A and B are shown apart, each in its own frame.
Chain A
Amino acid sequence: MIQYFLPEITILAGILVVLILEIVLGRKGFLATLVSLLFLLVAGFFALRDLSLISPDYYKGLGAFINEHQNLVYIIKSLRLGVVERFMDTIMIVGTIYFVLLSYDYFRSRASGDYQFLTLSALLGGMLLIKSNNWPTLLLSLEILSFSLYALVAFRKDLFSYEAAGKYFFLGALSTAFLTMGIAFLYLAYGTIDFGTTFQRIYTLAQAGFPREVIILSSIALAFIIVGFGFKLSAVPFHFWTPDVFEGAPTPTAGFVSTVSKTAAIGLVFAIFQGLLVNYPALWKGLILWLSVITMLVGNIAALRENSVKKLLAFSTIANAGYVLAVVYAGGLEAVKAAIVFMLVYTITTFGAFAVLQITSEGNTHIENLRGLFQRKPDLAFALAALMVSLAGIPPFAGFFAKFFLAFSMVQMNHPLLAIWLFFNGAISAYYYLRVVYYAFQRDDSEKELPSSRIPYAVAVVSAVLVLLMGLFPDAYTSFVDKVFGAFFGL
Chain B
Amino acid sequence: MTLTAVIFTLFALLGLWGALVVLFAKRPVYNALGLLLNFVSLAAIYIMLNAPFLGVIQIIVYSGAIVVFFLFVIMILNLRDPLSDMDLSFKGLVAFVLMISLLSLLGVYLYVIKLPAWKLGPEGSPGKLGELLLRDYLIPFELASILLLVAIVIAVVLGKKGEEQ
Please classify how large the interface on chain B is, using the bins under 10, 10 to 19, 20 to 34, 35 or more.
20 to 34
Beyond A78-B138, A124-B146, A220-B106, 20 additional pairs, beta carbon < 8 A: A12-B146, A19-B153, A75-B138, A78-B139, A79-B139, A114-B156, A121-B146, A121-B153, A128-B143, A137-B143, A140-B144, A140-B147, A147-B150, A147-B154, A148-B150, A188-B116, A192-B118, A213-B115, A216-B113, A217-B115
Is B7's CB within 8 Å of the partner chain A? no
Minimum distance in angstroms from A425 CB to a CB of chain B: 31
Alpha-carbon distance A418/B143, docked complex (angstroms) = 39
Chain B residue at minimum C-beta to C-beta distance from A27: B163
The docked-state distance in angstroms from the alpha carbon of A144 to that of B113 is 37
Name A176-202 residues within 8 Å CB distance of B.
188-192
Residue B127 is within 8 A (CB to CB) of chain A in the complex: no
> Cβ of A191: which chain B residues have Cβ within 8 Å of it?
116, 118-120
Q: Could you say which residues of chain B place their CB within 8 Å of the CB of A155?
A: 157
Given contacts A137-B143, A148-B150, contact A213 B137 (CB under 8 A): no
In the bound complex, residues from chain A placing their C-beta under 8 Å from that of B158 are 151, 154, 157
Within 8 Å of chain B (Cβ to Cβ): is A444? no
**Structural contact, B153 and A157, CB atoms closer than 8 A:** no
Does B140 reach chain A (CB closer than 8 Å)?
Answer: yes
- B residues 115-165 near A (Cβ < 8 Å) are 115-116, 118-120, 135-140, 143-144, 146-147, 150-151, 153-154, 156-158, 162-165
> Across the interface, which residues of B come within 8 angstroms of A78, CB to CB?
137-140
* A77 sits at the interface (CB 8 A): yes
Distance A191 CA – B118 CA, assembled complex (angstroms): 5
With the chains together, A365 CA to B32 CA distance in Å? 43
Cross-interface CB contact of A213 among B114, B139, B165, cutoff 8 Å: B114
A-B residue pair count with CB separations less than 8 angstroms: 91
For A151, what are the chain B residues with a Cβ–Cβ distance below 8 Å?
Answer: 153-154, 157-158
B90 interfacial contact with A, CB 8 Å: no
Interface of A: prevailing SS:
helix
Contact indicator B143/A216 (Cβ below 8 Å): no
Distance A391 CA – B124 CA, assembled complex (angstroms): 53
A residues in contact with B109, CB < 8 Å: 216, 220
* Complex contact B140–A144 (CB within 8 A): no
Interchain Cβ contacts under 8 Å between A and B, 27 examples: A15-B146, A74-B135, A74-B136, A74-B139, A75-B138, A75-B139, A77-B136, A79-B139, A110-B162, A117-B153, A118-B154, A136-B137, A136-B140, A137-B140, A140-B140, A144-B146, A144-B150, A147-B147, A148-B150, A150-B154, A155-B157, A157-B165, A190-B116, A191-B120, A211-B116, A216-B109, A217-B116
Closest to B155 in A: A151
A141 at the interface (CB under 8 A from B): yes
Residues of A within 8 A of B165 (CB): 157
Distance in angstroms from A450 CB to nearest chain B CB is 23
- Which A residues lie at the B interface, using CB under 8 A? 12, 15, 19, 71, 74-75, 77-79, 110, 114, 117-118, 121, 124, 128, 134, 136-137, 140-141, 143-144, 147-148, 150-151, 154-155, 157, 188-192, 211-214, 216-217, 220
Q: Closest Cβ of chain B: how far from A418's Cβ, in Å? A: 31
B residues whose Cβ falls under 8 Å from a Cβ of A: 106, 109, 113-116, 118-120, 135-140, 143-144, 146-147, 150-151, 153-154, 156-158, 162-165
B147 — which chain A residues lie within 8 A by C-beta? Answer: 140, 143-144, 147
A134 to B114, CA, bound (A): 26
Report yes or no: B150 in contact with A121, Cβ–Cβ below 8 A: yes
Q: Which residues of B contact A12 (CB under 8 A)?
A: 146
**Interchain CA distance A150-B151 in the complex, whole Å:** 11
Asked if B150 and A118 sit within 8 Å, CB to CB, the answer is yes
Query: Which chain A residues border B138 with CB–CB below 8 Å?
Result: 74-75, 78
Q: Which residues of A contact B120 (CB under 8 A)?
A: 191
Do the beta carbons of B146 and A147 come within 8 Å of each other?
no
Distance in angstroms from B74 CB to nearest chain A CB is: 20
Kindly report which residue of chain B lies nearest to residue A133, judged by CB atoms: B139
Contacts of B139 in A (CB 8 A): 74-75, 78-79, 137
| Whole-angstrom CA separation of A212 from B115 in the bound complex | 10
Q: Which of A79, A150, A216 has the most CB of B within 10 A?
A: A216
Q: How far is the CB of A348 from chain B (nearest CB, A)?
A: 28
A477 to B83, CA, bound (A): 61
Bound complex: CA of A121 vs CA of B106, how far in Å? 38
B45 to chain A, nearest CB (A): 15
Complex A-B, nearest 8 residue pairs according to Cβ-Cβ distance, in ascending order: A191-B118, A78-B139, A136-B140, A213-B113, A140-B143, A151-B154, A157-B162, A137-B140
Bound form: Cα–Cα A157–B153 in Å: 15
Q: Which residue of B lies closest to A115 (CB)?
A: B157
